[in-house]
Structure 1
Amino acid sequence: MIVIDNILISDDVLSEQFVCDLSKCKGGCCEDGDAGAPLMDSELEELQQYFDAIKPYLTPEGLQEIENQGKYVYDKYFGWVTPTINNAICAYGYRDEKGIIKCGIEQAYNDGKIGWKKPVSCHLFPIKTEKSKLDSDLEFVNYVPREDLCHAACVLGKKLKVPVYKFLKEAIIRKYGPDFYDSLEATASHMQP
């Protein structure tokens, strides 16, 4: 376990290797789970602010679920999350011509329509973060790939020799800032044999 400020990071974030292989997993993390994508409180405002710009990127089924459930829903275990279609694919997701699930929010961002990339929880995957239930100042950062779904990404990461924290550099900086990432990288360099 590595500690930076009040954040406890699993050693796996530095030692394990991972690179998403969308051609193999087809973006399955956007439909395989117990709930939609976890959202920070500030992201609820982002969804409200940018929804009209995101809307053209969504499927009729996704739009219907958002109309039925709302732009976000409360889950007793995960807190605020995106709604899902039939408890599967995220309502903000769609399949491209190759069958790969893409994010309507991210596509709106890539097209310059909005200034928010996507939920941080999605951007950080397969890292999951969680506040301590005993000490609200503590946060846990764990590497939690899905065994079957992420197998190809683990294989590709090992082949390319890309540690998890390097693959997720942009997302980690987005969540914790550049100083945190620099400390993480320095720790990884110090830990190497």
Structure 2
Amino acid sequence: MIVVDNVLISDEIAEAQFVCDLNKCKGGCCEEGDAGAPLEDAELDLMVDLYEKIKPYLTPASVAEIERKGKYVYHKEFGWVTPTLGGDNEICVYGTRDEKGIIKCAFEQAYNDGVIGWKKPISCHFFPIIQKTGRKGDYDRMNYEPRPTLCSPACSLGKKLKVPVYKFLKEPITRKYGEDFYNALDKAATEYYTAKKK
């Protein structure tokens, strides 16, 4: 376990290697799962405020489902999540497939086009790291949880390129916790990996 500030980080985040291979997984993490993407409380208003701006990126089916269910829904196990088209293991309503069959996030597409300034829910940005806050809110926990089959190509590509999980996810880690935190994690992970090789 690596500890930085009040965040408990699993050793695998320093040790395992991972680089998304979208041509193989097709963005399946936006579809495969027990519910939609978990949302932080601070993100709920964003989902509402940005909806009209990202609406042009959505399919008619997604628009109909959002206007029927709402911009987010409550799940008894995961709390507030994005709606899905249908039930579990269905595509997130904010996802669309491109001509190659790769699922693209409407928020991220709008962000890349300069339409909005928010990239996507932090839980999506973090994957395959699952980040949760402790019950009392006094610490966070970060675990490495790739999907066994879906993420197999990403694990293989990460090993080939020799990219640790935390380095691949530098952007969301910095977005959530700041640059000083990431630098401290980088130092701790390097020390951990060096010690393990001895």
TM-score (norm 1): 0.97
SS at match of 1:47: helix
Query: What stretches of structure 1 move > 2 A for 4+ residues in a row?
Result: none
1:128 aligns with 2:130: yes
Count the aligned residue pairs: 192
Q: Within 1, Cα distance between the matches of 2:109 and 2:137?
A: 34
Q: Within 1, Cα distance between the matches of 2:79 and 2:171?
A: 24
1:91 aligns with 2:93: yes
Identical aligned residues as a percent: 64
Q: Within 2, Cα distance between the matches of 1:17 and 1:112?
A: 31
1:183 aligns with 2:162: no
Report the alpha carbon displacement of residue 128 of structure 1 after superposing the two structures with TM: 0.3
The residue that corresponds to 1:109 in the other structure is 111
The residue that corresponds to 2:63 in the other structure is 63
Q: Within 2, Cα distance between the matches of 1:101 and 1:176?
A: 27
SS at match of 2:181: helix
TM-score (norm 2): 0.95
Report the alpha carbon displacement of residue 170 of structure 1 after superposing the two structures with TM: 0.3
The residue that corresponds to 1:27 in the other structure is 27
| Alignment root-mean-square deviation, CA | 0.8
2:2–2:189 Cα contact (<8 Å) kept: no
Q: Which amino acid aligns with 1:164?
A: V
Q: Within 2, Cα distance between the matches of 1:8 and 1:124?
A: 15
The one-character-per-residue Cα deviations of 1:134-160 (angstroms, maximum 9, x if unpaired) are x42021100000000000000000000
SS at match of 2:84: coil
The one-character-per-residue Cα deviations of 1:60-114 (angstroms, maximum 9, x if unpaired) are 1111110111000011111110000012000000000000000011001111110
Q: Within 2, Cα distance between the matches of 1:85 and 1:167?
A: 29
Q: Within 2, Cα distance between the matches of 1:168 and 1:57?
A: 25
The 5 A counterparts of 1:136-155 are: 136-155=137-156
1:171 aligns with 2:172: yes
Q: Within 1, Cα distance between the matches of 2:134 and 2:52?
A: 35
